[in-house]
């Protein structure tokens, strides 16, 4: 399976190119959208070529999701911890965006490690609430400010749910798809996903289950959030899954799980369409090669003309 990268490749390339050409006064103004409708804007002006503004726009959080000023719980603290004092958070952010960071290349050494962290801004912001919950799990505690059932936004107007406990955290995803074909493929994919978890090589991975109806852990969640045409996927995270360097990987995999499934569903659909087209083309070639000749010859070298349907009816009438 192909895993999504935690950093934006286009953003990283843009930052590296600018850092390698600081002696040139250039103007940049790039805007683009990546998966889950996360929008980016990078701007450098001729007036201040050493200043770079990075703005990020997140999808509008639904009412049940925990957010503050359009950002997930703990996002500002996570940014300060990850990037230190080399970045300035603009308050308020630029119009139409959830967050704007200002980077001054004259004060910050733009090495590749730092720029890769900056290109992973989506992971830092969207994964902030998960990190808070899982850090408490690693210490066998529960954050006192959290409810029994925590809703976290991961797609436009969609959330997944966590049930934090001192010894484990249950994570439940309502899986929704707009296209009927995607729904069928996703349901099959998720069932196989659960079966693959039972392999001996994956016995240390988080336990995984699929159900066509909402699991008991989601009791009390708003009814409108529990509509899922591809069922519900549930993971159980234990302290061993978030120890040390495993924390960042677990946070990223969970925060992008729906995008991961969507990617492989679309990839499978495209692969099947390609196979179907190739199959049709091979059948057409076989039919073209099987067309009979207009005339055939017998063993005695006599020529016979192949009769059409109308010729055969005319002969019978005589």
Q: Specify the 3-state DSSP secondary structure of 43.
A: strand
Confidence of residue 283 (pLDDT cuts 50, 70, 90): confident
What residue has token string 């978030």? Answer: 242
Give the mean pLDDT of 42-57. 90
Q: How far apart are CA 56 and CA 101, in angstroms?
A: 9
Residues 6 or more apart from 318 whose CB is under 8 A from it?
Answer: none
Cis peptide before 92 (omega within 30 of 0): yes
The whole-number pLDDT of residue 154 equals 86
* Higher-pLDDT residue of 64, 312: 64
Least confident of 39-53, 157-171, 204-218, 257-271: 257-271
Residue 195 confidence (pLDDT) above 90: no
Confidence of residue 302 (pLDDT cuts 50, 70, 90): low
Q: How far apart are CA 110 and CA 233, in angstroms?
A: 41
Give the mean pLDDT of 52-60. 91
The whole-number pLDDT of residue 106 equals 81
Give the mean pLDDT of 5-17. 90
Backbone angles phi, psi at 218, to 5 degrees: -90, 15
Backbone angles phi, psi at 4, to 5 degrees: -70, 140
The whole-number pLDDT of residue 235 equals 94
Question: Which segments of 226-281 are extended strands (E)?
Answer: 232-237
Residue 136 confidence (pLDDT) above 60: yes
Tens digits of residue pLDDT in 68-98: 777 888 899 999 988 887 788 998 899 889 9
Cα–Cα distance list, 5 to 253, 256, 259, 270, 283 (Å): 10, 10, 12, 21, 40
Cα–Cα distance list, 222 to 102, 162, 172, 232, 234 (Å): 39, 14, 14, 15, 18
Give the mean pLDDT of 37-41. 92
Average pLDDT for the chain:
84
Q: How far apart are CA 259 and CA 130, in angstroms?
A: 17
Confidence of residue 298 (pLDDT cuts 50, 70, 90): low
CB 242 within 8 A of CB 134: yes
- Angle CA(172)–CA(141)–CA(124) in degrees, nearest 5? 60
* Higher-pLDDT residue of 190, 25: 190
Burial classification of residue 298, based on how many CB atoms lie within 10 Å of its CB (0-12 exposed, 13-18 middle, 19 or more buried): exposed
Residue 198 confidence (pLDDT) above 80: no
Q: How far apart are CA 232 and CA 254, in angstroms?
A: 14
Residue 137 confidence (pLDDT) above 90: yes
Residue 311 confidence (pLDDT) above 60: no
Confidence of residue 308 (pLDDT cuts 50, 70, 90): low
Tens digits of residue pLDDT in 222-254: 888 888 999 999 999 999 999 988 999 999 999
CB 133 within 8 A of CB 204: no
The whole-number pLDDT of residue 303 equals 52
The whole-number pLDDT of residue 33 equals 93
Q: How far apart are CA 46 and CA 41, in angstroms?
A: 17
């Amino acid at each position: 399976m192909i895993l999504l990268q935690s950093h934006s490749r286009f953003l990283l390339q843009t930052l590296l190119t600018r850092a390698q050409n600081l002696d040139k006064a250039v103007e940049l103004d790039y805007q683009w959208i990546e998966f889950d409708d996360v929008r980016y804007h990078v701007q450098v002006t001729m007036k201040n070529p050493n200043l770079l503004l990075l703005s990020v726009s997140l999808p509008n959080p639904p009412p049940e999701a925990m957010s503050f000023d359009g950002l997930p719980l703990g996002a500002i603290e996570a940014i300060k911890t990850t990037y230190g004092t080399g970045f300035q958070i603009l308050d308020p952010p630029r119009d139409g965006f959830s967050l704007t960071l200002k980077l001054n290349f004259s004060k910050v050494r733009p090495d590749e490690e730092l720029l890769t962290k900056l290109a992973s801004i989506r992971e830092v912001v969207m994964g902030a609430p998960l990190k808070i919950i899982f850090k408490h799990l690693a210490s066998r505690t529960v954050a006192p400010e959290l409810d029994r059932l925590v809703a976290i936004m991961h797609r436009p107007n969609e959330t997944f749910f966590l049930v934090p406990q001192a010894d484990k955290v249950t994570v439940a995803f309502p899986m929704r798809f707009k296209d009927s074909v995607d729904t069928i493929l996703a349901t099959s994919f998720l069932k196989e996903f659960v079966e693959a978890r039972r392999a001996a090589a994956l016995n240390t991975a988080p336990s995984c289950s699929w159900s066509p109806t909402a699991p008991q852990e989601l009791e009390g969640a708003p009814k409108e959030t529990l509509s899922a045409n591809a069922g519900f996927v549930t993971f159980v995270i234990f302290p061993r899954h978030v120890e040390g360097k495993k924390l960042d990987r677990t946070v990223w995999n969970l925060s992008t799980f729906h995008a991961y499934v969507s990617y492989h569903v679309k990839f499978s659909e495209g692969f099947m369409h390609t196979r179907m087209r190739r199959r049709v083309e091979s059948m057409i070639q076989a039919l073209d090669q099987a067309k009979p000749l207009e005339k055939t010859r017998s063993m005695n070298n006599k020529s016979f003309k192949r009769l059409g349907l109308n010729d055969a009816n005319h002969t019978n009438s005589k």
